[in-house]
Structure 1
Amino acid sequence: MAATREQNYVGVFDGKVGYGTRPAVVVIDFTLAYTTPGSPFFAEGVVRAVADTVPLLAAARAAGVPVIHTRVEYHPSGADGGWFVRKVPALRKMVAGEPLAQIDPKVAPLPEEVVLVKQYPSPFFGTPLGPMLAAMGVDTLILAGCSTSGCVRAGALDGVQHGYRVIVPRECVGDRHDGPHDANLFDIHAKYGDVVSREEVVSYLTGLPRGAAT
């Protein structure tokens, strides 16, 4: 007889990491490539997630919580993308000067917010994100962005492996299909962090002392 969901998960994969006291928000790849109709990467789920992230960013900024953004950009040769751009050739379009590679204005970085350029799924891989968070004394990583099954999942996995509490507000991440989106949220919540409502995260941020993570 096949094991039930309760047998497979309850008491094994249903723990909570909870919140620390020094959070940072990392907004992963909310670029125009995902929100512009006609783009190879366009996804309605990401359009919704971008809109739903606006209040999250407002709460983080009001609390003085660091907000860090990422976007993807490659050398015109694609050499810095290795086998990733060979596997997904449409990524080769993400070069300097390409409008689709820019962050959607709805979640535009403020002048003081760092934007990291990356070439691979995880926001940690090949970027200074890890040392930045360590220097800030961050203990809680709040992830927004896209795609849920790709770069968000990679960020959650690397986040827990770097020693951070990982929090994913479910309304603030998106994908091009409900199947991988839902499956990866389920798996992140089971193994790597807490998938919670945006409302819960905003409430947490609102309750922080001003500048808690600075």
Structure 2
Amino acid sequence: MNQSRESNYTGVFDTLLGWGAKPALLVIDFTCAYTTPGSPLYAEGVVAAAEASVDLLAIARAGGTPVVYTKVMYHPSGVDGGLFTRKVPALRRLVAGERLVEIDNRVAPQPEDLVIVKNYPSAFFGTSLASTLTAEGIDTLILIGCSTSGCVRATAIDAIQHGFRAIVPRECVGDRHNGPHDANLFDMNAKYADVLPKAEVVAHLKGLARTDAA
């Protein structure tokens, strides 16, 4: 039965979009809310993903790949969170001046990096991200961050809907539990993004750097 189901996917949900001409690295919500023990949003899987992303970020910057960050932050009243903060009340903690809002030091932005504040799962929803990428001639987004089943997935869907290729290095995204993490990697790879080993993404970025230097 399982074999039959899997054979039905062949040629339908196994296509790779591949890389475009100019990638950017999008770091989605690698904030202290997810990496600080005791936080209501803490997830060990996110900590592991952040640690796995340190050298990827260094390689991207060394090769001149633009790096963009997102973080979630709300007005103290929560009014800009709408129904999302009612559904997930723990998000109301994410206000200006709260340490949980800030990006984890292991993957901290550099002065040249753009940091976008968002209120909802997708990095595109209600932000200037699509316009910024288009103006810079970027056609491919490397998505790292958290959570795999939430903001990463929502961003991957919006990326393809806005005409951007999405690449997800599997070691560099994290979630609270392996079940939703693995299921959403499978589903993103089937429909919205290319889920690749981190080593393959690193090799591509290094190749771009060599080409630019030649």
* Normalised TM-score (structure 2): 0.96
Aligned to 1:125: 125
Q: Which SS does the other structure have where 2:187 is aligned?
A: helix
**Does residue 1:17 correspond to 2:17, yes or no?**
yes
User: Deviations along 1:126-179, whole A, 9 cap, x unmatched?
Assistant: 111000100010011100000000000001000011111110000000000000
Q: Can you give the 5+ residue segments of structure 1 that lack an aligned partner in the other structure?
A: none
What is residue 137 of structure 1 aligned with on the other side? 137
The corresponding residue for 1:153 is: 153
Aligned counterparts, 1:60-79, within 5 A: 60-79=60-79
Deviation at 1:211, TM superposition (A): 9.6
Q: Distance in 1 between matches of 2:21 and 2:44?
A: 34
CA contact (8 A) 1:63 1:211 kept: no
Distance 2:169 2:155 in 1: 14
For residue 190 of structure 1, what is the aligned residue in structure 2? 190
Q: Give the aligned partner of residue 107 of structure 1.
A: 107
The normalised TM-score by structure 1 is 0.96
Matches within 5 A, 1:3-82: 4-82=4-82
* 8 A Cα contact 1:65 1:211, kept in partner: no
1:78-113 CA distance string (max 9 Å, x none)? 000000000000000000000011000000000010
3-state secondary structure, aligned to 2:208: coil
What letter corresponds to residue 47 of structure 1 in structure 2? V
Q: Map 1:197-208 onto structure 2 (within 5 A).
A: 197-208=197-208
Q: Displacement of 1:200 after TM fit?
A: 0.4
Higher relative contact order (CA 8 A, sep 6+): 1
Q: Give the percent of matched residue pairs that are identical in Structure 1 and Structure 2.
A: 66
Partner of 1:92: 92
Q: 2-side partners of 1:180 and 1:69: how far apart? A: 23
* 1:4 Cα offset (Å): 2.6
AA aligned opposite 2:125: F
Deviation (angstroms), 1:21:
1.8
Partner amino acid for 1:202? V
Name the one with the larger helix percent: 2
Give 3-state SS (helix, strand or coil) of 2:167's partner.
strand
Distance in 1 between residues matched to 2:32 and 2:167, nearest whole Å: 24
For residues 49 and 134 of structure 1, the distance between their equivalents in structure 2, rounded to whole angstroms, comes to 28
Aligned length: 212
SS at match of 1:166: strand
**One-letter amino acid of the structure 2 residue matched with residue 175 of structure 1:** D
Alignment partners' CA distance in 2, 1:32 and 1:53: 15
Q: CA RMSD in A?
A: 1.4
Measured in 1, the distance between the counterparts of 2:149 and 2:187 equals 10
